[in-house]
Amino acid sequence: MTDATPPPAVGHLPIDRACPAADLIEVPAWGSHALAVHGGAGPRATPLTEEETRDREEALRSAVAAGAAVLAAEGSALDAVTAAVVELEDCAFFNAGRGAALTTGGRAELDACVVRGDRAAGAVTAATHARNPVLAARAVMEATPHVLLVDPDDALLREWGCEVAGQEWFVVERQERALARLLGERTHGTVGAVARDAEGRVAAATSTGGITGQLPGRVGDTPLVGAGTFADDTTVAVSGTGTGEFFVRGVLAHDLHARLRYAGTDLATAAREVLDEHLGRHGADGGLIAVTPRGDLVLAWDSGAMYRGWLTADGPVAHV
Protein backbone atom coordinates (compact mmCIF):
# COMPACT_ATOMS: atom_id res chain seq x y z
CA MET A 1 0.00 0.00 0.00
CA THR A 2 1.18 3.51 -0.68
CA ASP A 3 -0.38 6.88 -0.02
CA ALA A 4 0.80 8.26 -3.38
CA THR A 5 -1.92 9.95 -5.41
CA PRO A 6 -3.56 7.27 -7.50
CA PRO A 7 -3.17 7.55 -11.25
CA PRO A 8 -6.16 8.97 -13.11
CA ALA A 9 -8.81 6.41 -13.96
CA VAL A 10 -8.07 4.51 -17.10
CA GLY A 11 -10.39 5.56 -19.88
CA HIS A 12 -11.12 8.65 -21.82
CA LEU A 13 -8.53 11.33 -21.13
CA PRO A 14 -10.04 14.67 -20.22
CA ILE A 15 -9.53 17.11 -23.06
CA ASP A 16 -10.67 20.58 -23.89
CA ARG A 17 -14.32 20.09 -24.81
CA ALA A 18 -14.49 23.38 -26.66
CA CYS A 19 -12.41 22.06 -29.57
CA PRO A 20 -12.87 25.35 -31.37
CA ALA A 21 -11.48 25.16 -34.83
CA ALA A 22 -13.32 22.52 -36.87
CA ASP A 23 -15.96 23.19 -39.49
CA LEU A 24 -18.48 20.40 -39.26
CA ILE A 25 -21.51 19.20 -41.18
CA GLU A 26 -23.91 16.65 -39.73
CA VAL A 27 -26.21 14.75 -42.07
CA PRO A 28 -28.67 12.66 -40.03
CA ALA A 29 -29.68 9.27 -41.44
CA TRP A 30 -32.57 9.68 -43.87
CA GLY A 31 -32.96 6.28 -45.52
CA SER A 32 -31.64 2.76 -45.87
CA HIS A 33 -28.17 3.86 -46.90
CA ALA A 34 -25.67 6.71 -46.59
CA LEU A 35 -22.54 7.85 -48.35
CA ALA A 36 -20.03 10.69 -48.22
CA VAL A 37 -16.84 11.45 -50.12
CA HIS A 38 -13.97 13.85 -49.71
CA GLY A 39 -11.47 15.14 -52.22
CA GLY A 40 -8.91 16.34 -49.73
CA ALA A 41 -8.56 19.04 -47.10
CA GLY A 42 -6.03 21.80 -46.84
CA PRO A 43 -5.54 25.52 -46.69
CA ARG A 44 -6.27 27.21 -50.00
CA ALA A 45 -3.68 29.78 -50.96
CA THR A 46 -5.78 31.23 -53.78
CA PRO A 47 -9.57 30.95 -54.08
CA LEU A 48 -10.93 28.64 -56.78
CA THR A 49 -12.30 30.26 -59.93
CA GLU A 50 -15.95 29.74 -60.79
CA GLU A 51 -14.97 27.18 -63.40
CA GLU A 52 -12.70 25.29 -60.99
CA THR A 53 -15.47 25.26 -58.41
CA ARG A 54 -18.00 23.94 -60.91
CA ASP A 55 -15.66 21.23 -62.25
CA ARG A 56 -14.67 19.97 -58.83
CA GLU A 57 -18.20 19.96 -57.48
CA GLU A 58 -19.36 18.07 -60.54
CA ALA A 59 -16.59 15.48 -60.07
CA LEU A 60 -17.51 15.04 -56.40
CA ARG A 61 -21.19 14.64 -57.29
CA SER A 62 -20.32 11.97 -59.89
CA ALA A 63 -18.35 10.07 -57.26
CA VAL A 64 -21.29 10.25 -54.85
CA ALA A 65 -23.60 9.15 -57.67
CA ALA A 66 -21.34 6.18 -58.50
CA GLY A 67 -21.46 4.98 -54.88
CA ALA A 68 -25.16 5.77 -54.56
CA ALA A 69 -26.00 3.63 -57.60
CA VAL A 70 -24.36 0.65 -55.89
CA LEU A 71 -26.24 1.25 -52.64
CA ALA A 72 -29.58 1.81 -54.39
CA ALA A 73 -29.16 -1.60 -56.04
CA GLU A 74 -28.60 -3.06 -52.54
CA GLY A 75 -24.89 -3.45 -53.16
CA SER A 76 -22.50 -3.47 -50.23
CA ALA A 77 -20.94 -0.47 -48.51
CA LEU A 78 -17.56 -1.82 -49.65
CA ASP A 79 -18.64 -1.85 -53.31
CA ALA A 80 -20.03 1.66 -52.89
CA VAL A 81 -16.88 3.22 -51.42
CA THR A 82 -14.73 1.45 -54.00
CA ALA A 83 -16.87 2.77 -56.87
CA ALA A 84 -16.79 6.32 -55.49
CA VAL A 85 -13.03 6.32 -54.99
CA VAL A 86 -12.32 4.87 -58.47
CA GLU A 87 -14.22 7.83 -59.89
CA LEU A 88 -12.11 10.29 -57.89
CA GLU A 89 -8.84 8.50 -58.69
CA ASP A 90 -9.57 8.79 -62.40
CA CYS A 91 -10.25 12.51 -62.10
CA ALA A 92 -7.11 14.63 -62.44
CA PHE A 93 -8.39 17.36 -60.08
CA PHE A 94 -7.68 15.33 -56.99
CA ASN A 95 -4.51 14.06 -55.36
CA ALA A 96 -5.05 10.34 -56.01
CA GLY A 97 -4.54 8.11 -59.04
CA ARG A 98 -4.28 10.42 -62.05
CA GLY A 99 -3.28 13.86 -60.79
CA ALA A 100 -1.52 12.60 -57.66
CA ALA A 101 1.06 14.69 -55.82
CA LEU A 102 4.67 13.98 -56.77
CA THR A 103 7.70 13.02 -54.72
CA THR A 104 10.91 15.05 -54.76
CA GLY A 105 11.94 12.68 -57.55
CA GLY A 106 8.98 13.87 -59.68
CA ARG A 107 7.20 10.52 -59.49
CA ALA A 108 3.73 9.53 -58.31
CA GLU A 109 3.84 6.96 -55.50
CA LEU A 110 0.32 6.07 -54.48
CA ASP A 111 -1.23 4.82 -51.26
CA ALA A 112 -4.72 3.35 -50.88
CA CYS A 113 -6.70 1.38 -48.34
CA VAL A 114 -10.11 -0.22 -47.91
CA VAL A 115 -11.56 -1.34 -44.59
CA ARG A 116 -14.86 -3.16 -44.16
CA GLY A 117 -16.82 -2.93 -40.93
CA ASP A 118 -16.07 -6.55 -40.06
CA ARG A 119 -12.39 -5.47 -40.03
CA ALA A 120 -11.41 -7.07 -43.32
CA ALA A 121 -8.80 -4.70 -44.78
CA GLY A 122 -6.40 -4.29 -47.68
CA ALA A 123 -3.90 -1.61 -48.64
CA VAL A 124 -1.10 -0.74 -51.03
CA THR A 125 1.69 1.74 -50.53
CA ALA A 126 4.18 3.44 -52.86
CA ALA A 127 2.17 1.91 -55.71
CA THR A 128 3.37 2.91 -59.18
CA HIS A 129 1.69 0.30 -61.40
CA ALA A 130 -2.00 0.16 -60.51
CA ARG A 131 -4.20 2.57 -62.42
CA ASN A 132 -6.65 2.46 -59.54
CA PRO A 133 -4.78 1.90 -56.29
CA VAL A 134 -8.07 1.41 -54.42
CA LEU A 135 -8.81 -1.66 -56.55
CA ALA A 136 -5.34 -3.02 -55.83
CA ALA A 137 -5.96 -2.41 -52.11
CA ARG A 138 -9.20 -4.33 -52.38
CA ALA A 139 -7.42 -7.17 -54.20
CA VAL A 140 -4.89 -7.37 -51.37
CA MET A 141 -7.84 -7.82 -49.02
CA GLU A 142 -9.70 -10.34 -51.14
CA ALA A 143 -6.99 -12.28 -52.99
CA THR A 144 -4.13 -12.49 -50.48
CA PRO A 145 -3.67 -13.35 -46.81
CA HIS A 146 -1.99 -9.96 -46.30
CA VAL A 147 -3.17 -6.48 -45.33
CA LEU A 148 -0.53 -4.17 -46.86
CA LEU A 149 1.65 -4.64 -49.94
CA VAL A 150 4.35 -2.34 -51.28
CA ASP A 151 3.94 -1.51 -54.98
CA PRO A 152 2.36 -4.68 -56.42
CA ASP A 153 3.88 -5.32 -59.86
CA ASP A 154 2.21 -5.69 -63.25
CA ALA A 155 2.07 -9.47 -63.08
CA LEU A 156 0.30 -9.47 -59.73
CA LEU A 157 -2.09 -6.72 -60.81
CA ARG A 158 -3.01 -8.63 -63.97
CA GLU A 159 -3.57 -11.77 -61.95
CA TRP A 160 -6.00 -9.76 -59.79
CA GLY A 161 -7.72 -8.31 -62.86
CA CYS A 162 -6.53 -4.76 -62.07
CA GLU A 163 -5.68 -2.34 -64.84
CA VAL A 164 -2.00 -1.41 -65.10
CA ALA A 165 -0.76 2.16 -65.67
CA GLY A 166 2.52 4.06 -65.54
CA GLN A 167 3.85 7.50 -64.67
CA GLU A 168 2.52 8.92 -67.95
CA TRP A 169 -1.01 8.29 -66.63
CA PHE A 170 -0.52 9.55 -63.09
CA VAL A 171 1.64 12.63 -63.65
CA VAL A 172 -0.24 15.74 -64.71
CA GLU A 173 1.06 19.22 -65.43
CA ARG A 174 -0.69 20.76 -62.42
CA GLN A 175 1.30 18.56 -60.06
CA GLU A 176 4.55 19.14 -61.95
CA ARG A 177 4.00 22.87 -61.46
CA ALA A 178 3.17 22.29 -57.77
CA LEU A 179 6.40 20.35 -57.34
CA ALA A 180 8.34 23.07 -59.09
CA ARG A 181 6.75 25.69 -56.81
CA LEU A 182 7.49 23.59 -53.80
CA LEU A 183 9.95 23.83 -51.65
CA GLY A 184 7.69 26.87 -51.12
CA GLU A 185 4.25 25.46 -50.83
CA ARG A 186 3.34 21.97 -49.67
CA THR A 187 0.06 20.71 -51.07
CA HIS A 188 -1.97 17.79 -49.94
CA GLY A 189 -5.27 16.38 -51.06
CA THR A 190 -6.33 12.74 -51.02
CA VAL A 191 -9.74 11.25 -51.78
CA GLY A 192 -11.96 9.03 -49.71
CA ALA A 193 -15.42 7.61 -49.23
CA VAL A 194 -17.48 6.14 -46.40
CA ALA A 195 -20.76 4.30 -46.76
CA ARG A 196 -23.48 2.46 -44.87
CA ASP A 197 -25.49 -0.07 -46.83
CA ALA A 198 -29.06 -1.34 -46.50
CA GLU A 199 -27.90 -4.12 -44.18
CA GLY A 200 -26.27 -1.67 -41.80
CA ARG A 201 -22.71 -2.57 -42.77
CA VAL A 202 -20.15 0.22 -43.07
CA ALA A 203 -16.94 0.59 -45.10
CA ALA A 204 -14.27 3.19 -45.79
CA ALA A 205 -11.79 3.70 -48.62
CA THR A 206 -9.02 6.29 -48.99
CA SER A 207 -6.55 6.90 -51.82
CA THR A 208 -3.74 9.44 -52.17
CA GLY A 209 -0.55 10.52 -53.84
CA GLY A 210 0.64 11.71 -50.43
CA ILE A 211 2.17 15.13 -50.03
CA THR A 212 3.84 17.17 -52.76
CA GLY A 213 7.59 16.91 -52.40
CA GLN A 214 7.51 13.95 -50.03
CA LEU A 215 10.63 11.83 -50.01
CA PRO A 216 10.49 8.78 -52.27
CA GLY A 217 9.37 5.86 -50.14
CA ARG A 218 7.44 7.97 -47.62
CA VAL A 219 4.31 6.20 -46.37
CA GLY A 220 1.47 8.39 -45.05
CA ASP A 221 -1.59 7.63 -43.01
CA THR A 222 -3.86 6.56 -45.86
CA PRO A 223 -2.75 2.90 -46.19
CA LEU A 224 -2.33 2.38 -42.45
CA VAL A 225 -5.44 0.80 -40.99
CA GLY A 226 -6.53 2.92 -38.03
CA ALA A 227 -4.55 6.02 -39.03
CA GLY A 228 -6.21 7.42 -42.17
CA THR A 229 -8.80 4.72 -42.80
CA PHE A 230 -10.89 2.59 -40.46
CA ALA A 231 -14.27 0.88 -40.22
CA ASP A 232 -16.11 -1.08 -37.56
CA ASP A 233 -19.70 -2.22 -37.91
CA THR A 234 -20.41 -1.34 -34.28
CA THR A 235 -19.23 2.26 -34.39
CA VAL A 236 -18.09 4.11 -37.48
CA ALA A 237 -16.36 4.08 -40.86
CA VAL A 238 -13.91 6.93 -41.35
CA SER A 239 -11.65 8.31 -44.06
CA GLY A 240 -9.18 11.08 -43.26
CA THR A 241 -7.21 13.67 -45.14
CA GLY A 242 -4.48 16.02 -44.02
CA THR A 243 -0.93 15.90 -42.82
CA GLY A 244 -0.51 12.15 -42.62
CA GLU A 245 2.24 12.03 -40.04
CA PHE A 246 -0.15 13.47 -37.43
CA PHE A 247 -2.86 10.94 -38.28
CA VAL A 248 -0.28 8.18 -37.88
CA ARG A 249 1.04 9.45 -34.54
CA GLY A 250 -2.49 9.88 -33.19
CA VAL A 251 -3.85 6.71 -34.84
CA LEU A 252 -6.62 9.17 -35.55
CA ALA A 253 -9.23 7.06 -37.34
CA HIS A 254 -9.05 4.35 -34.69
CA ASP A 255 -9.18 6.98 -31.96
CA LEU A 256 -12.48 8.21 -33.39
CA HIS A 257 -13.81 4.64 -33.20
CA ALA A 258 -12.46 4.22 -29.65
CA ARG A 259 -14.19 7.40 -28.42
CA LEU A 260 -17.52 6.13 -29.77
CA ARG A 261 -17.00 2.62 -28.49
CA TYR A 262 -15.46 3.09 -25.08
CA ALA A 263 -16.43 6.61 -24.04
CA GLY A 264 -19.87 6.70 -25.64
CA THR A 265 -19.07 10.06 -27.22
CA ASP A 266 -21.34 11.16 -30.05
CA LEU A 267 -19.83 11.25 -33.54
CA ALA A 268 -19.78 15.03 -34.03
CA THR A 269 -18.10 15.66 -30.67
CA ALA A 270 -15.62 12.84 -31.22
CA ALA A 271 -14.76 14.19 -34.69
CA ARG A 272 -14.02 17.63 -33.25
CA GLU A 273 -11.98 16.09 -30.46
CA VAL A 274 -9.73 13.97 -32.66
CA LEU A 275 -9.09 16.81 -35.11
CA ASP A 276 -8.23 19.10 -32.24
CA GLU A 277 -6.18 16.66 -30.23
CA HIS A 278 -4.15 15.07 -33.01
CA LEU A 279 -3.95 17.90 -35.57
CA GLY A 280 -4.92 21.35 -34.30
CA ARG A 281 -2.92 21.25 -31.11
CA HIS A 282 0.19 20.33 -33.03
CA GLY A 283 -0.17 23.04 -35.65
CA ALA A 284 -1.40 20.56 -38.26
CA ASP A 285 -4.68 20.47 -40.12
CA GLY A 286 -6.94 18.15 -42.04
CA GLY A 287 -10.37 16.65 -42.13
CA LEU A 288 -12.43 13.49 -42.05
CA ILE A 289 -15.68 12.01 -43.20
CA ALA A 290 -17.45 9.40 -41.11
CA VAL A 291 -20.63 7.34 -41.06
CA THR A 292 -22.24 5.36 -38.26
CA PRO A 293 -24.01 2.01 -38.69
CA ARG A 294 -27.30 3.97 -38.36
CA GLY A 295 -26.35 6.04 -41.39
CA ASP A 296 -25.57 9.35 -39.68
CA LEU A 297 -22.82 11.24 -41.50
CA VAL A 298 -20.31 13.77 -40.25
CA LEU A 299 -17.91 15.74 -42.43
CA ALA A 300 -15.40 17.80 -40.44
CA TRP A 301 -12.25 19.76 -41.18
CA ASP A 302 -10.04 22.31 -39.47
CA SER A 303 -7.99 23.22 -42.52
CA GLY A 304 -9.99 26.09 -43.96
CA ALA A 305 -11.35 23.98 -46.80
CA MET A 306 -12.25 20.42 -47.72
CA TYR A 307 -13.64 19.13 -51.01
CA ARG A 308 -16.73 17.19 -49.96
CA GLY A 309 -19.88 15.52 -51.18
CA TRP A 310 -22.65 13.38 -49.76
CA LEU A 311 -25.88 11.72 -50.65
CA THR A 312 -29.20 13.30 -49.69
CA ALA A 313 -32.73 12.01 -50.26
CA ASP A 314 -32.77 14.32 -53.30
CA GLY A 315 -29.44 13.09 -54.73
CA PRO A 316 -25.76 14.01 -54.48
CA VAL A 317 -24.57 17.39 -53.20
CA ALA A 318 -21.02 18.73 -53.25
CA HIS A 319 -19.10 21.75 -51.99
CA VAL A 320 -15.49 22.83 -52.34
Please check whether residue 57 is in contact with residue 149, taking contact to mean a CB–CB distance below 8 angstroms: no
- Can you tell me which of 133, 152, 210, 226 binds ligand ASP, judged by CB under 6 A? 210
Residue 75 CA to residue 67 CA, distance in Å, equals 9
**Is 265 marked active-site?**
no
Which region, judged by CB under 6 A, interacts with ligand ASP, from 68-76, 133-141, 182-190, 193-201?
Answer: 182-190
Strand order across the 286-291 sheet: 23-27, 297-301, 286-291, 236-242, 229-232
Q: Which of 125, 190, 208, 212 is catalytic?
A: 190
For ligand ASP, the closer CB: 41 or 236: 41
208 binds ligand ASP (CB under 6 A): yes
62 binds ligand ASP (CB under 6 A): no
- Can you tell me which of 188, 254, 272, 278 binds ligand ASP, judged by CB under 6 A? 188
Residue 100 CA to residue 212 CA, distance in Å, equals 9
In whole angstroms, how close is the CB of 90 to ligand ASP at the nearest point? 18
Residue 222 CA to residue 228 CA, distance in Å, equals 4
Residue 264's contacts (CB-CB under 8 Å, 6 or more residues apart) are: none
Residue 199 CA to residue 110 CA, distance in Å, equals 32
Which region, judged by CB under 6 A, interacts with ligand ASP, from 65-73, 102-110, 132-140, 185-193?
Answer: 185-193
232 binds ligand ASP (CB under 6 A): no
Measured in whole angstroms, how far is the alpha carbon of residue 178 from the centre of its chain?
A: 21
Please check whether residue 42 is in contact with residue 305, taking contact to mean a CB–CB distance below 8 angstroms: yes
189 binds ligand ASP (CB under 6 A): yes
244 binds ligand ASP (CB under 6 A): yes
Q: How many residues bind ligand ASP (CB under 6 A)?
A: 15
Give the residue from 159, 158, 76, 152 showing the smallest Cα distance to 111.
Answer: 152
211 binds ligand ASP (CB under 6 A): yes
For ligand ASP, the closer CB: 162 or 227: 227
Active site residues: 190
Q: List contacts with ligand ASP (CB under 6 A).
A: 40, 188-190, 208, 210-211, 220-222, 228, 241-244
